[in-house]
Chain A
Amino acid sequence: MEKAQQMSIQDGEIIKLFFERSEQAIRELETKYGNACFRLAYNILGNRQDAEECVNDAYLGVWNAIPPAKPDPLLSYVLKIVRNLSLKKYWKNRAIKRDCAYTVSIHEIELFLATPNTTESEIDALELAKMIEEFLDMQTTENRVIFMRRYWFSDSYKDIAEQVGLSEKTVSVRLTRIRRKLKEFLIQKEVLV
């Protein structure tokens, strides 16, 4: 798979194809990043058909955005679109209760960050994102990756363990500690009481 990725064309060339309005751009994007996009959408939606739809919608979104956008790096740009679309669909589908990885990971963090007191200060997503970034900068690279793989990519413990070369148990313990540290950090910042 790595070999196949090396053989695929560079991001710059794909963007060039988008600028030329060549449909080959979509095909190249699909070849190079299709798997990563599908996996992310599937983690969130837990349904193959929905995930495929979201990925296709994301390609259309990329087609409409480039040009004028010239994203660098391309992968995270595409993944963000996939994640956004998948989350929109997720909340829309919420009535149909599905046991997907996103439900599990988001419930996990919700349980941890919820405080019994309701006096917590209101905070908007942008402000919280800045704090999470500040918190992540204080972590080791490995812990940052574990956190992002769990709460951005909604990966399972098993998948994270494989990626970072740790046991599932260690990943679970690390995540518990990261969540605890995040909670302490947010309390310190007076986001949580």
Chain B
Amino acid sequence: MNAGVFSDAMDVIDSKYVEEAMHYQRKRKPIPWIKIGAVAAACILVAGTFTIYNFSKQNQQGVFEIEPRRTLPSEKVEDTKTTIGSETNPGISTDECAADMHRPVGYHPRIGSALALKLSLHKESPEKVYDVVIPCFHRFGEDDCIVERLSDRLDTTSWRCWARIQWSDRGIEEKYHAQLTLDQINIVVEAGLSCFYIGSGKGNLADMNFDNPKGIETYCELVGDKYTFASDGSIAHKPDILVEGLVELEP
């Protein structure tokens, strides 16, 4: 079907739909102050308990470390990484995972133009399958979610995987490079990416998107000038992604 036929069909569509769209008034919901108050109080209580619990736990155990990354020789690296789940940020249980996000030097400063995520996974359960869901926002506005199951590309003997994908046939020039190792996923994404999720492998892959967190255990999402990292129900909001060196990729 081409645009002309669709446009012609829209021309002759019943006027009642045009009228409805013209005169639609959004519904104004009353603000449930009591509910908001109760939720806020509960959140403060939970956050307080969680912080105290993590603080005491960290004092007992070592920090789960991310292996040092390799950088391109030409890149200057500023040591400004933000690590979640380390001593510097006790927001998330260190047993589970740690992550840092960084934007390679020389990329457009707009968030999402290029990102790299290094995520350390559960060391205790290497058999776990992690899916990566990548919603791509191309130049015509937010459109389709492009879903890739990295585990399908995984070489189970070495637990390593490299992927380099272009969707140029859809007019979208998105690329990502990923490496899966026993305990880490290293991903560098180029051009137009806004957010992506590392799923737990549970649930239906097709259902995993930013509207429906079902099956997403761990995710990283960029919103405005902040990014959110979440794992096992804990969510940490962090400021802008900091400049860091590009993870070196195999050809």
Contacts and interface: CB of A to CB of B under 8 A. Distances in A.
Contacts of A36: 22
How big is the B interface, by class? 35 or more
Interface in A44-95: 73, 75-77, 79-80, 83-84, 87
B59 interface: no
A139 to B, nearest CB: 10
Interface stretch (A13-21, A22-30, A122-130): A122-130
A27 B10 CA distance: 29
A100 interface: no
Given A157-B142, A173-B142, A129 B15 contact: no
B2 A79 contact: no
Nearest to A36: B22
Contacts of A170: 211
A110 B140 contact: no
**Which of B7, B27, B144, B211 neighbours the largest number of chain A CB atoms within 10 Å of its CB?**
B7
Interface in B6-39: 6-15, 17-22, 24, 26-28
A176 interface: yes
A45 to B, nearest CB: 14
Contacts of B24: 141-142, 145, 163-164
A125 B11 contact: yes
A152 B13 contact: yes
Contacts of A133: 13-14, 17
A75 B23 CA distance: 11
Contact of B1 (A87, A129, A144, A192): A192
B20 A165 contact: no
Given A75-B22, A157-B142, A191-B1, A128 B6 contact: yes
A98 interface: no
A164 B14 CA distance: 21
Contacts of A112: 143-144
B144 A176 contact: yes
A107 interface: yes
B11 A148 contact: no
B178 to A, nearest CB: 24
B159 interface: no
Nearest to A137: B17
A176 B143 contact: yes
Contacts of B6: 106, 109-110, 113, 128, 151
Contacts of B12: 125-126, 129
Contacts, number: 123
Given A73-B19, A145-B24, A152-B18, A132 B143 contact: no
Q: Which of B3, B5, B21, B143 neighbours the largest number of chain A CB atoms within 10 Å of its CB?
A: B21
A153 B141 contact: no
- Please tell me the size bucket of the interface on A: 35 or more
A79 B142 CA distance: 28
A87 B142 contact: no
Contacts of A77: 15
Most buried by A among B1, B8, B141: B1
B211 A173 contact: yes
A32 B10 CA distance: 24
A169 B135 CA distance: 12
A178 interface: no
B138 to A, nearest CB: 9
A148 B17 contact: yes
B20 A110 contact: no
B145 interface: yes
B173 to A, nearest CB: 14
A83 B11 contact: yes
B160 to A, nearest CB: 33
Nearest to A165: B26
B20 A108 contact: no
Q: Which 5 A-B pairs have the closest CB atoms?
A: A165-B26, A125-B8, A172-B142, A148-B21, A128-B9
